């Protein structure tokens, strides 16, 4: 998971600011997605700039969904978005979202307005509202009414690529709901009384030398008004903050020889996906022109080059670049591109620069790639 406590708090403050100024009433669904939902997905560990991970307006069935979160090219979580002013109280909206996910065979479904986030198991054999696994309200993050920030991160981490891919979210569902269902069945069995339980009592009485009929057993059970006190279910240990849904990240540089390094860099930077293109067209030229390059300089350039819609969106775009630089497999990028993580924001990269010994290589590559 890419998010931090401070990012959760910042998003909560943004939502409360929108509400205080009345902006929430005029914010469109598209703006809600750009300003709130996509930062959430990014914090959960999904690279919103990578269409192989996050597909917008995808069509797993005949109807498009707002976001399809994919692993190995297969939809694993469908996200249905509403505008911020929509309080998600329409049962019809919920049933439709669940029906679309179920029709596509996608187990996990998220319904959100950018502030409220509700995670559902679309395939659970339950009525719609009982398919809910978890929910959070980001507008309350950092307030006395809200959950602890670490709990916000745990819930958001449930829909992370690692949690979904490893089956952790399925195990959380099983612990929460399968256990409760079993307990309910046992309580019904013992307090009904169930005919099978009546027969069990008869057999035990017969074994004890006091045979009785079904009717006698039933009458005695009714007369005794048996109420079985169930031993409380053993509480499930809550994971530590970020324990599930955590996407491994690294700051360690690679140690490749020049030839291998150049091959890896050329292969990556030649891609026409958004992040490689932004690296070769924006970040690397900025670093060659002067260094260190500050975050705000990159964000300004992203807006100027129309790679970001506005200043707020530029932060999301830059975070996708930051995520790619932090992936363990991309250590060859970190061998060339260095950065700082200044206090008090150690999760945030700043002061980007190219190692002096690789500047000539980068210039040559940018010319070759064009």
Cis peptide before 292 (omega within 30 of 0): yes
Q: Is residue 267 part of a domain?
A: yes
Question: Which among 285, 289, 287 has a CA at the least distance from the CA of 351?
Answer: 287
What CATH number is associated with residue 271? 1.10.10
- Cα–Cα distance, 258 to 142 (Å, whole number): 48
Q: Is residue 229 part of a domain?
A: no
Looking at the structure, tell me whether residues 41 and 153 fall in a common domain: yes
Number of domains observed in the structure of the chain: 3
- Cα–Cα distance, 279 to 301 (Å, whole number): 12
Looking at the structure, tell me whether residues 301 and 341 fall in a common domain: yes
pLDDT of residue 214: 75
Q: Which pairing describes strands 74-81 and 65-71: parallel, antiparallel, or unpaired?
A: antiparallel
- Cα–Cα distance, 97 to 136 (Å, whole number): 18
Looking at the structure, tell me whether residues 135 and 10 fall in a common domain: yes
Range of the domain at 209: 192-224
**Segment 209-232, tens digit of pLDDT:** 778 887 777 676 655 544 444 444
What CATH number is associated with residue 31? 3.90.1570.30
Q: Is residue 349 part of a domain?
A: yes
Looking at the structure, tell me whether residues 150 and 30 fall in a common domain: yes
**Segment 126-172, tens digit of pLDDT:** 889 889 999 999 999 888 777 778 888 889 999 999 999 999 999 99
Looking at the structure, tell me whether residues 154 and 275 fall in a common domain: no
The percent of the chain in helix, strand and coil, each rounded to the nearest 5, is: 55, 15, 35
Looking at the structure, tell me whether residues 27 and 137 fall in a common domain: yes
């Amino acid at each position: 998971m890419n998010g931090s406590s401070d990012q959760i708090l910042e998003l909560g403050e943004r939502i409360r600011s929108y509400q205080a100024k009345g902006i929430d009433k005029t914010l469109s669904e598209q703006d809600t997605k750009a300003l709130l939902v996509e930062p959430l997905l990014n914090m959960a560990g999904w690279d919103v700039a990578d269409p192989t991970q996050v597909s917008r307006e995808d069509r797993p069935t005949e109807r498009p969904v707002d976001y399809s979160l994919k692993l190995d090219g297969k939809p694993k979580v469908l996200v249905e978005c509403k505008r911020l002013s929509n309080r998600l109280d329409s049962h019809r909206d919920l049933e439709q979202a669940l029906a679309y996910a179920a029709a596509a065979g996608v187990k996990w479904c998220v319904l959100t307005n950018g502030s409220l986030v509700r995670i559902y198991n679309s395939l659970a054999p339950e009525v719609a509202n009982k398919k809910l696994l978890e929910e959070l309200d980001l507008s309350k993050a950092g307030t006395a009414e809200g959950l602890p920030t670490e709990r916000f991160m745990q819930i958001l981490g449930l829909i992370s690529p690692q949690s979904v891919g490893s089956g952790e979210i399925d195990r959380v569902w099983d612990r929460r709901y399968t256990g409760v269902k079993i307990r309910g069945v046992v309580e019904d069995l013992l307090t009904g009384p169930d005919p099978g339980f009546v027969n069990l009592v008869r057999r035990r009485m017969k074994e004890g030398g006091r045979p009785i009929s079904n009717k006698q057993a039933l009458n005695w059970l009714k007369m005794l008004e048996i109420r079985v006190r169930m031993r409380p279910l053993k509480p499930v240990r809550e994971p530590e903050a970020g324990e599930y849904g955590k996407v491994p990240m690294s700051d360690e540089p690679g140690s490749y020889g020049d030839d291998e390094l150049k091959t890896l860099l050329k292969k990556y930077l030649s891609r026409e996906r958004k992040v490689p293109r932004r690296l070769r067209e924006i970040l690397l030229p900025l670093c060659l022109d002067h260094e260190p390059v500050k975050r705000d300089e990159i964000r300004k350039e992203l807006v100027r080059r129309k790679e970001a819609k506005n200043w707020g969106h530029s932060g999301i775009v830059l975070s996708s670049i930051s995520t790619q630089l932090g992936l363990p497999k991309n250590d060859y990028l970190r061998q060339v591109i260095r950065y700082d993580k200044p206090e008090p924001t150690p999760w945030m990269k700043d002061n980007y620069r190219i190692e002096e010994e690789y500047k000539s290589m980068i210039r040559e590559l940018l010319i070759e790639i064009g």
